Amino acid sequence: MTESPLVVVGASCAGTNLALAAREFGSQRRIIVVGEEPGFPYHRPPLSKAYLSGKADDQSLMLRPEKLYASQGIEFLPETRVVSIDRNVKALLTSEGQRISYGQLALTTGCRPRRLSLAGAEADNVLLLRTVAEARSLREAAQSARSALVIGGGFIGLEVAATLAQGGIAVTVIELEPRLLQRAVSTLVADALLKVHRSHDVTFRFGVTAAALELSGNRVRNVRLSDNSTITCDLVVVGIGTIPNDELARDAGLCCDNGILIDAHGRTSDESIVAAGDCARQSNAFADHQLLRLESVQNATDQARSAAATLTARADTGLKPPWFWSDQYDVKLQIAGIITGADTSVVRGTPEEGKFSVFHFRNGSFIGAESLSRASDHVLARRCLGEQISLSPSVVGDTSIDLATIVRQSKK
Amino acid sequence: MPTVTYLLSDGSQISADLPVGTTLLAGAVNSAVPGVLGDCGGSCSCATCHVYVEERRLGELEPPSVLENELLDGVAAPRRENSRLSCQICMTHELNGLIVTLPDVQA
């Protein structure tokens, strides 16, 4: 191990997978993962669901056991904030003034939730959800809350709303757009999710935003909305989007534009530096090569492995279709591909029962599918995208045709 | 502690001690068994933790749920009678010595 180390900034899902994959792919370097949070990396998806409801504990969140990192020769520097990158001498500077030299650098710094830009946004009962510490605060606050206002009808907001509603809290969700998940799912799927939430007594207000927070001491008691109505609540949860943590890269002169720009193999504009995960933006082959910054476990994992392959001069791990899931109540939403820009959409299954998929096409090509409690459609759609198996609107609209058979036959 | 043996597609094998109640996926991931991805963290969403369970002990397992059964339709390697998702199999004392074979492809 005479080469200088591979340093990974961001002890995240992407960072951990990148470090493990670099070792798996034969890297002989010392590997150091630097993270701002205390402790070892953890799974974030359960934070809004099983962890928030108390069904999962800190131990079950762990991404990998501590002993695995030791056995793979991966070192961690927790509670360490990197403040700058000196690319000329290949060194990082931490907020404590420590210098860390690198031979290769990986940026997996993630993103952070956007905050409300209103007076009172720092009040004790206005909470965000990204880290386990924030999830813990929310869980504690939920124990004594009888009512909650969720600002933002996106995935985080809806998952939190579902968990809180199931815990017996009266939940109101406000959303600026005229419907839920405007940029993420089709109207049919948004309506189906809305119906499920309403059946659990969640109240929705569309086309409004929070205009002012009225405090009592350090706590918000009333939230005045843009239509001048007022909502009284014990707890406010803010889920209004994210901001990529790309400042470190930008300050070091790397090309950034709403995320650190990376090529198809995870390289930034500096050949010794790769990036992966929520902080990275990349031309996406499944979306007409638009530059996309995807926030998902799949994207973090696949970009991490791809970047690790680049660092170890291995052949890339291949193009993987994007996919995503969200669990709300007993409904599982799964999305394969990038569905924006569809010109034809076909329903498969029975929307009335809340069990259906919507298959999307553009210029006659299959581009992706959303599935609600139809997991086999989802996995098969994913394989069609990944293995370039063509699907037609007439085939997917006919439930008497078994998609598994189509996929199997096209493999021959 | 009960033991599970993972047979890899390259012919090698890894045995791991699994605390009762942990899943075969967690056992594989925690022992760095290559060939099991478990990208969704074991929430039965991704179908990347496919294993073949030794036939003679298949009856000792709880049958797959509707969701697992649906996901198994789309696993990347051929689905067989003994195909299961390792995130849905919880270790018990009775399952001690179980052998599972990993497919050569997960996703």
pLDDT tens digits, residue range B47-84? 889 999 999 999 999 999 999 999 998 888 989 999 99
Q: In the prediction, which pLDDT does A59 show? A: 86
Does residue A177 share a domain with residue A108? no
Does residue A234 share a domain with residue A197? yes
Does residue A133 share a domain with residue A108? no
Dist CA A123 CA A58 (whole Å): 26
Report yes or no on A322 lying in a domain. Answer: no
From A240, A257, A274, give the residue that closes a domain: A240
Looking at the complex, report in whole angstroms how far the Cα of residue A28 sits from the nearest Cα belonging to chain B.
Answer: 17
Report yes or no on A94 lying in a domain. Answer: yes
Q: In the prediction, which pLDDT does A412 show? A: 57
Helices (H), B1-107: 24-30, 66-72
Within an 8 Å CB–CB cutoff, is residue B49 touching chain A? Answer: no
pLDDT at A1 over 60: no
Report yes or no on A1 lying in a domain. Answer: no
Contacts of A209 (CB under 8 A, 6+ apart): A151, A174, A176, A225, A226
> What predicted TM-score, i.e. pTM, was given to this entire model?
0.94
pLDDT at A402 over 70: yes
Q: Which of A376, A402, A412 to mutate to test the interface with B (most CBs of B within 10 A)?
A: A376
Report yes or no on A318 lying in a domain. Answer: no
Does residue A252 share a domain with residue A106? yes
Report yes or no on A23 lying in a domain. Answer: yes
How confident is the model over A56-71, as pLDDT tens digits?
Answer: 999 889 998 888 899 9
Dist CA B48 CA A161 (whole Å): 29
Does residue A287 share a domain with residue A357? no
Within an 8 Å CB–CB cutoff, is residue A43 touching chain B? Answer: yes
Within an 8 Å CB–CB cutoff, is residue A404 touching chain B? Answer: yes
| B68 contacts B42 by C-beta, under 8 angstroms | no
Report yes or no on A324 lying in a domain. Answer: no
CATH number of the domain at A275, please: 3.50.50.60
Buried (b) or exposed (e) across A290-314, using 16+ Cβ within 10 A? eebbbbbbbbbbbbbbbbbbbbbeb
Report yes or no on A67 lying in a domain. Answer: yes
Query: How many domains in chain A?
Result: 3
Helices (H), A86-214: 132-144, 155-166, 187-199
Q: In the prediction, which pLDDT does A3 show? A: 85
Does residue A258 share a domain with residue A164? no
B74/A404 touch (CB, cutoff 8 Å), yes or no: yes
Does residue A91 share a domain with residue A11? yes
pLDDT at A313 over 80: yes
Dist CA A299 CA A30 (whole Å): 25
Q: In the prediction, which pLDDT does A177 show? A: 96
Does residue A220 share a domain with residue A120? yes
CATH number of the domain at A396, please: 3.30.390.30
**Residues of chain A above pLDDT 90, percent:** 91
Does residue A230 share a domain with residue A122? yes
Does residue A162 share a domain with residue A139? yes
Give the structural domain span for A22.
Answer: 6-112+243-311
Does residue A344 share a domain with residue A307? no
Dist CA A406 CA B73 (whole Å): 12
Does residue A389 share a domain with residue A247? no
pLDDT at B2 over 80: yes
Name chain A contacts of B23, Cβ cutoff 8 Å. Answer: none
From A211, A240, A269, give the residue that closes a domain: A240
Report yes or no on A125 lying in a domain. Answer: yes
Sheet holding A91-94, edge to edge: A82-86, A91-94, A99-101
How confident is the model over A324-363, as pLDDT tens digits?
Answer: 999 999 999 999 999 999 999 999 999 999 999 999 999 9
| Model-level ipTM above the cut of 0.90 | no
